[in-house]
């Protein structure tokens, strides 16, 4: 039987991360609420909420943690060739609620969703306050993919992404990395490992190393620029890596 500490709704304190469960990995506490100051306090400590309808709010801090270095995601060669022909456009904060709703859709028949109505409202509130952002991929105006997450200081915490067309979520993630890297966000939190993330350069950090970086980056001055204008300028061709000799890395196979 797992005995978890319950959060006090009147306090923003969390248990020590070292007390998190090994199985299930990273389960730390339950209860509390999803008000903005609690969510921001959690992320700044390397903690995030993740639970299903009918459960209490569950708080997690997995060890290790999946991350991407924003300045060097991996772009597979076949994806590079596709990017050369891609006519889709990239936007930011254009349809935050729609992106979250799309991420909440079950991936497979019979699956549930962890983005409950309470979670949806909480992140939309964070977006209204300027802490949460979305990135959208559109094909002639139609929303075909996207990603959303939370920015604190110069740290970005990815929450979820979706794809309605092949490669759409890959394009969203790569564009997010590029846009973040150019304004001083070196690390993107991807929470838990997956083959999809690994294929794009995701790697694992021990929790203590991850939290040390978060503690530094979250305390840095936030970027005050125009998220929409900055990301809207990114084109699919911009996401093809450039070799040291200045040429695009576009070999014949991959």
Fold of 6-63: Alpha-Beta Plaits (3.30.70)
Q: Distance (Å, rounded) from C-alpha 94 to C-alpha 146?
A: 11
Cβ–Cβ contacts within 10 Å for residue 68, how many? 26
Residue 64 in contact with residue 101, Cβ under 8 Å? no
Residues 6+ apart with CB under 8 A from 62: 25, 26, 191, 192, 207
Place of tokens 């998220």: 227
Q: Distance (Å, rounded) from C-alpha 162 to C-alpha 25?
A: 24
Q: What pLDDT shows up at residue 251? A: 35
Show the tokens assigned to 100. Answer: 């979250």
Distances from the Cα of 158 to the Cα of 81, 141, 172, 197, angstroms: 26, 24, 11, 12
Phi-psi region of 94 (alpha: psi -120 to 50; beta: other; left: phi over 0): alpha
Residues of the chain below pLDDT 50: 110, 250-254
Helix (H, G, I), strand (E, B) or coil at 10: coil
pLDDT tens, residue by residue, 107-126 = 655 455 689 999 999 999 99
Domain ranges for the chain, please list them: 6-63, 66-239
pLDDT tens, residue by residue, 162-217 = 999 999 999 999 999 999 999 999 999 999 999 999 999 999 999 999 999 999 99
Q: What is the CATH number of domain 66-239?
A: 3.40.630.70
State in Å, rounded, how far the first CA of the chain is from the last one: 48
Helix, strand, coil shares, percent, the chain, to 5: 30, 25, 45
| Residue 69, burial from CB neighbour count under 10 angstroms (0-12, 13-18, 19+) | middle
Q: What pLDDT shows up at residue 128? A: 98
For the entire predicted model, the pTM comes to 0.93
Helix (H, G, I), strand (E, B) or coil at 113: coil
Residue 4 in contact with residue 33, Cβ under 8 Å? no
| Residue 222, burial from CB neighbour count under 10 angstroms (0-12, 13-18, 19+) | middle
Q: Distance (Å, rounded) from C-alpha 44 to C-alpha 110?
A: 34
């Amino acid at each position: 039987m797992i005995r978890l500490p319950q959060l006090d709704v009147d306090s923003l304190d969390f248990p020590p991360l070292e007390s998190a469960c090994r199985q299930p990995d990273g389960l730390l506490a339950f209860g509390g609420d999803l008000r903005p100051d609690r969510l921001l306090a959690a992320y700044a400590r390397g903690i995030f909420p993740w639970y299903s309808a009918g459960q209490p709010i569950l708080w997690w801090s997995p060890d290790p943690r999946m991350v991407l270095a924003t300045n060097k995601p991996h772009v597979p060669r076949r994806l590079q060739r596709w990017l050369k022909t891609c006519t889709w456009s990239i936007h930011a904060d254009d349809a935050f609620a729609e992106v979250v709703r799309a991420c909440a859709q079950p991936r497979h028949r019979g699956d549930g969703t962890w983005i409950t109505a309470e979670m949806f409202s909480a992140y939309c509130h964070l977006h209204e306050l300027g802490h949460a952002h979305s990135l959208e991929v559109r094909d002639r105006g139609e929303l075909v993919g996207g990603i959303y997450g939370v920015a604190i200081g110069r740290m970005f915490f990815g929450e979820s992404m979706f794809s309605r067309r092949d490669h759409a979520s890959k394009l969203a993630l790569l564009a997010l990395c590029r846009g973040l890297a150019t304004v001083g966000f070196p690390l993107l939190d991807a929470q838990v490992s997956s083959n999809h993330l690994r294929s794009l350069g995701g790697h694992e950090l021990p929790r203590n190393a991850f939290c040390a970086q978060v503690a530094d980056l979250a305390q840095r001055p936030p970027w005050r620029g125009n998220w929409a204008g900055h990301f809207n300028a990114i084109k699919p061709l911009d996401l093809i890596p450039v070799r040291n000799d200045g040429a695009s890395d576009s070999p014949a196979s991959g």
